[in-house]
Each structure stands twice: as structure tokens, then as C-alpha cells.
Amino acid sequence: MSVTRGFLGHRRERDPRLPPGQYNAGDDWPVLTAEVTPNLRTDAWTLTVDGLVERVSTWTWDEAHALPQSEYHGDIHCVTTWSKLGTVFGGVSVDEVLDAAGPRPEATHVMATSTTGYTTNLPLEDLRGGKAWVAFTFGGLPLTTHHGGPVRLLVPHLYFWKSAKWVTRLTLMDHDEPGFWERNGYHDRGDPWQEQRYQGD
């Protein structure tokens, strides 16, 4: 440990829900996006699960809303060090769409793709067991465009770049390969509790 001369830090509101190196953004929800915000129309959007599945499956906006809906109540963590506590997102559990498509036994990883071409990779296990959603609402209201609306992936136990905005495709693979930020220096998994921010962490 190398102590910084004179640094005390603001620890007045250190919350046990904050992973190491994170701070509480409070009511703020910073926007961090690498590309131009798309103008995504719900009548043209579809969600497809393909790759190593028994049945390549696609849902329209209405079909995705007809699936059983569920909510996430909890925290989100951005690699840029802000966390937002006590959020509520609503949408479809990724388990629902994976179960419908039927992952083949050799599938181990997933590439999520957005309408913008943004990609992010995830171990399949990080999307199963009630840990991930295709989210349509935040705080009971439609997700705004800046925050990935009308639809984004939500994988709240990993850094938030894994929660791809404007998600349109989940592709199951038998190997890992880096997505957009992962090719650009960020960690392949991104567990905030292990501070897996950059490649090599």
C-alpha cells in the first residue's frame, strides 16, 4: 500500500453496499456511451437469441412484453467508480429467453450486441439463475434513451458496461471473445467486488 500524503477522503457516507473503489452517486445517474445515441423505434426493434441454441428465437417488442415480467431491486456499479444504490428495473429475466431458445450443452459464453454495433461478452453463467434482465423500465417508467431506452441488458452484479444499451441480440458461443470495451482495455468479466476493471486485474 502506498499512502498518498495528506489524503483523508470523504468517508462520511461509506455504505457497505459499495464495492471497493466505488462512490455513491446518489440521485445522479451519469451517462457514459461511446457512440451516437440511436433513435431506436420499438416497432422495428427485435431481440434475437442465436448461436449455440436449439432454436434461434426472436421476439418483437410486443412479444417480449408478453413474456413473464420481473424486477430487479438493488445496486448498479460503473467502472468509472460511481455506483447507484437501490435501483428498480423492470423487464424480462434473461432466463426466459434463454430457456425458450435452449442453450446447447457446449455453450459457455454470450456476446450481447446492440443496434449501434456495440458488443460485450459475458460468461453464460452470469446471465442465468435470475441474475440478468432485458430491461424496459427504470423506477417504474420507460427507460430513457440516454440510459439505453427503450431496452437494455441489465447484468447488475457486473460493471455496468456489461449491461449493453439498446440490446438486440444474444449470441451463444463455445468460447470467450472480447466485446467492444474488452478489446479496448477493459476486463473480460468485470466483477466490481473483485475490482476487475481493466485487462490484467
Min CB(129)–other proteins separation in Å = 31
Binding window for other proteins (CB under 8 A); candidates: 54-62, 88-96, 151-159, 181-189 = 181-189
Tell me which residue of 177, 171, 140, 176 sits closest to 153, measured CA to CA.
171
Min CB(49)–other proteins separation in Å = 19
86 touching other proteins, by CB under 8 A:
no
Find where cell 444474444 sits. Answer: 170
Judged by CB under 8 A, the chain residues 150 through 169 that form the site for other proteins are none
Q: Let me know: does 170 contact 163? Beta carbons within 8 Å.
A: no
The helices-and-strands tally (H runs, E runs) of the chain is 3, 11
Q: Let me know: does 138 contact 87? Beta carbons within 8 Å.
A: yes
Dihedral through CA 88, CA 127, CA 97, CA 176, nearest 10? 140
15 touching other proteins, by CB under 8 A:
no
200 touching other proteins, by CB under 8 A:
yes
Judged by CB under 8 A, the chain residues 23 through 52 that form the site for other proteins are 23, 25, 27-41, 44
Task: Report the alpha-carbon distance of residue 201 to residue 196 in Å, rounded.
Answer: 5
| Residues near other proteins, by CB under 8 A | 1-11, 14, 20-21, 23, 25, 27-41, 44, 80-82, 115-118, 144, 146-147, 180-181, 183-185, 198-200
